[in-house]
Structure 1
Amino acid sequence: MTEKIIENSAYRIVNELAKGGMGSVSEAFHLGADGFEKRVAIKQLLPTLSDSSEFVAMFIAEAKLVADLVHENIVQIYQFNRGQNGYYIVMEFVHGLSLAEFIEKHDGDQQLPVELAVFITSRIARGLAYAHSRHDSAGAPLNIVHCDVCPRNILVTTEGLPKLGDFGIAKAADQYLSPNPGERSLGKLAYMSPEQAWDHPVDHRSDVYSLGLVLFELLTMSKGREKWSSNMRFAAAKGWVDWDKLPRRVKSGLRKILKRMLDPEPDGRYASTDELAHDLEYFIYRKGYGPTVVTLEKYLRELCPSLYQVMPPSPSA
């Protein structure tokens, strides 16, 4: 079933991919001259969000900051517009799966190799380092902070390339949907820094903390605060992590990096995501070799072979 988003639209929706708290995400095609088509993803915001001038103002402000982010480890945003059904965002289409789905594919006691866990984290750290270091045309720092670094917002392509999505969207949603710390969902609290849980001002070091919890989960295949699920808000605010879960195969060098990422105090964490990415890369390449996108692709092929089935041709207009 085809559907045009707006009158005389250059986009055609072909398949709904997911629904979430902010709206739905669909596979679509950007149509051009002489049969040109480019596969894209379109996020249609919920009517309640599109109709809120407060949210739209927040989102537009954030979208302007991240509009020019072009990095291989960030899902690129192409367009933000309004159609018959409200506001929608046109983004890069990523053929793959979310890191949350990737983790769920590991059955029983199956563990992800440590080097691959660090590789995935290092790539997201590189994307964050790029975003955190952006300046405007006058040279002033943009102070971009993602605010929702978590497995469901990280994608792994079928080529083995990790990408961080929802830049700009996540921060606006957090400000609008959860203005009070007590209203935040347990899913968000599972990856929040203490300062974000307290609703204190945050900077790039908050993203470092959240990424640390993602790395912890990749190393243990379980959430770092699962032990306190009945009191998640308190655990997040205190910066508690269940360190007893960390297996012995995680050696002291990596433990040191992880401890620094997950320091409850921002000043105790990495001062920059560039420094973090360097330490993660040194850990996996210190012997002169280590995992690459090819390594991750091969692992993903074995873990989820259905992803590599031939994709059906796009339907005609």
Structure 2
Amino acid sequence: MTSEPPTLPPTLLDQYRFKVVRKLAEGGMGSVYEAMQIGCEGFQKRVAIKMLLRSLCRHERFVRMFVQEAKLVANLVHENIVQIYQLSRLPDGTYYFVMEYVNGLSLFEFLQFHRQIKKEPPPLPLAVHIISRIARGLAYAHTRSDHLQRPLNIVHRDVCPNNILITTEGLAKLTDFGIAIMDQDLYSPGRLMGKLTYMAPEQALQQNVDFRVDIFSLGACLFELICLEPIRQRLGHDAMLEAARKGYVDWEKFPKELPAEIRGILKRCLAFDAAERYSTTDELARDLEYFIYKDGYGPTIQTVEAYLRHEMPYLYQNKQVAGSREPDKGAAAATIILDDTRCRTDHNKGTGNSE
């Protein structure tokens, strides 16, 4: 005699509690916090919470972008893309989503370390490996389909060092799909979005774009990793916009002694005409991987971790058990309690909001 499986109710009531530990970052649209998700029987999971500025929650366009980012990334399950777990709204109307916490540093911080402290670029195979992992994440996103197998035509549009993270375990992850589009659904002629330093010409010209703008931007990131300088000088906005529209790349910065294969890969990524770039992001990833593994061996995530441990040991110092850390002075110290029947925030002197 077999027992019948338990019957789940139509709506499974469950309570989610998040204890905000500290503010991690703040931008023009909101803030990101480190938090602990707290469950029963002592369950704890470290997560990140991204909150939309309360003032922007009154603007339909910004809310739509924020909600779409959460919905879009929730269905992008890949080791090289930062995961999003939950989208919610507080009683005061503030939107937030819960996402994967990444312990490590951004590619921008990685670059700054090599520019200011080490004063030389990272080993070429290591740089190529990091970018190849992001290429794999992008290739996955670019080829996603909906439940009817219709291509989603996802374009990130903001691939840059600040949006590439490197974990202390050596994994490279792409984050911030905040201005990503699907089938041009949020494309607005007359509204320029993205970072000019890494922007493809057609994006700067505000033309319709596809995945090839991400290939251009990723190529710009690899160029900067190799040269420790961006593809074009950072000038005033108008000069930068003009340089981006013309697709200007300062090839004089590129070391002539480096292998021709890498220069060839970058030439294809950074071509002015999108038709001359890689026809798929998967093809780019394969070329990058062939360059580092053609001899039968090459860098792995363990190589990246070993490099970080040797060069940046501070990333691994004073590691604490998740949940044991006290909030930073002046940082948010709130417990957010959410379930299907009530929604409230309990605050200390700090605030869990992003304003």
Q: Is the 8 A contact 1:55 1:176 kept in 2?
A: no
- Given the two structures, how large is their TM-score scaled by the length of structure 1? 0.90
Which residue pairs with 2:17 in the alignment? 10
4+ aligned runs moved over 6 Å, structure 1 = 175-179
Q: Distance in 2 between matches of 1:222 and 1:135?
A: 36
Summarize deviations over 1:41-84 as a string: whole Å, max 9, x none. Answer: 01111123222122222333443333211111000011111114
Q: Distance in 2 between matches of 1:216 and 1:235?
A: 16
**Residues 1:239 and 2:236 aligned together:** no
Which residue pairs with 1:120 in the alignment? 130
Q: CA deviation at 1:302?
A: 2.2
Q: Distance in 1 between matches of 2:123 and 2:257?
A: 10
Q: Is the 8 A contact 2:142 2:154 kept in 1?
A: yes
Moved more, 12-21 or 220-229: 220-229
**Residues 1:171 and 2:164 aligned together:** no
Q: Is the 8 A contact 1:178 1:184 kept in 2?
A: no
Which residue pairs with 1:95 in the alignment? 103
Aligned-partner residue type, residue 86 of structure 2: Q
1:177–1:39 CA distance, 2 compared to 1 (3 A): farther
Which residue pairs with 1:3 in the alignment? none
Q: CA deviation at 1:32?
A: 0.9
Q: Distance in 1 between matches of 2:257 and 2:312?
A: 25
Percent identical among aligned pairs is: 54
**Residues 1:266 and 2:283 aligned together:** no
Structure with bigger helix share is: 1
Q: Distance in 1 between matches of 2:204 and 2:129?
A: 28
Q: Distance in 2 between matches of 1:308 and 1:178?
A: 43
Which residue pairs with 2:353 in the alignment? none
Which residue pairs with 1:154 in the alignment? 164
**Residues 1:136 and 2:146 aligned together:** yes
Higher relative CO (Cα under 8 Å, sequence separation at least 6) belongs to 2
Q: Distance in 1 between matches of 2:302 and 2:197?
A: 31
Aligned-partner residue type, residue 126 of structure 1: R
Unaligned 5+ runs, structure 1: 1-7
**Residues 1:251 and 2:251 aligned together:** no
- Given the two structures, how large is their TM-score scaled by the length of structure 2? 0.81
Q: Distance in 1 between matches of 2:211 and 2:134?
A: 13
Which residue pairs with 1:304 in the alignment? 312
1:64–1:93 CA distance, 2 compared to 1 (3 A): same
Q: Is the 8 A contact 2:135 2:282 kept in 1?
A: yes
Task: From the CA coordinates, give the structure whose radius of gyration is larger.
Answer: 2
**Residues 1:77 and 2:84 aligned together:** yes
Q: CA deviation at 1:305?
A: 1.0
Moved more, 280-289 or 46-55: 46-55
